[in-house]
Amino acid sequence: MLSLCFLRLGRTGTAMLLTLLLGVAWQTQAKTELPLAPVQALLTEKRLVVGLAVSELGTNSRWQLNPQQQFPLMSVFKFPQAILVLKHVDEGKLRLDQQVSIDRRQLMLKTWSPMLKDHTAQQFSLTVKELLRYSVSLSDNNACDILFNLIGGPAALQQYFVDLGITDVQIRINEFGLNQKFSAQYENWIKPAAALELLEKFYAAELLSSHSQQLLWDLMLETPTGQKRLKAGIGNDALLAHKTGTSSQDTDGLLAGINDIGIVQLPDGRAYAIAIFVKNSYESFDDTERLIAEISSKVYQAFTQQ
């Protein structure tokens, strides 16, 4: 179905052209089967909770594990925030080349912020497009909060979800709020099924202009974060546009949330959306990331019959 795809240039052009050509055929061919038993077997004796939602884009096929549990969003919320920022651009409320003045004295200095490493002056300015790159591709916490200031804060993002009809999500605080105390990381949450719905709407090009759609796709494709999560479970010839989320760890070794959600574009033009959330993990950070990679691999193998 043509409405389920948008043409991308460069590396993604061939894959997306195949998607366009094969879209109707998806409706008649056999759907991919994803048995959940191999995924559940990975969770044996694990001290954590996993939420999984997968959909084969262009079909009605979905697979879910704990889809109605609430999981801490962490930096995954920078994906819908970027959609809302770009919606403002499409509506003429913001411009991508609009300069934003930044004073580092008003920012968090003890947080993940590649932006502050790149820009050491007390005062500097960046464009909205540059802030999006820092927030989405590099998951910069300060850039995220600056963008929130441009669109009305967390409440505006919550309202955007309401407007989309996606109700199983809560956005209450920004990155500054998330950094105040460990328990604050549970304030923003989403259910895996809701995350999947947002990915599906994004891929179906229902939310943004073609230019904004392409920009956000590229930013998610280029992100270097989470290389040991979803990315580690797919083949080298597949494309992954994704957004990660990572919590801090409390004194007892508890990880509030380690996440990765995105869209995998297969070489034959098919695509699937996948959202993996892990909460309340007492496993090590490396083992938790490895579990996400293993689940990703099981899903990829189901789609490629490897």
Other CB atoms within 10 Å distance of the CB of residue 211: 12
Q: CA-based angle 275:276:281, to the nearest 5? A: 155
Q: What does the alpha-carbon distance between residue 117 and residue 104 come to, in Å, rounded to a whole number?
A: 11
Four-point Cα dihedral 25, 30, 36, 38, nearest 10: -100
Other CB atoms within 10 Å distance of the CB of residue 243: 29
Matching residue, tokens 């930013």: 219
Q: What does the alpha-carbon distance between residue 4 and residue 227 come to, in Å, rounded to a whole number?
A: 27
The answer to whether 51 and 76 are in contact (CB under 8 A) is: no
Q: Partners of 255 in the beta sheet?
A: 249, 281
How far, rounded to the nearest angstrom, does the alpha carbon of residue 132 sit from its chain's CA centroid? 14
The answer to whether 264 and 32 are in contact (CB under 8 A) is: no
H helices of 152-189, where? 154-164, 175-178
Q: What does the alpha-carbon distance between residue 165 and residue 184 come to, in Å, rounded to a whole number?
A: 25
Asked if 75 is an active-site residue, the reply is yes
Which residue among 55, 75, 137, 296 is the active-site one? 75
Q: What does the alpha-carbon distance between residue 199 and residue 250 come to, in Å, rounded to a whole number?
A: 31
Active site residues: 75
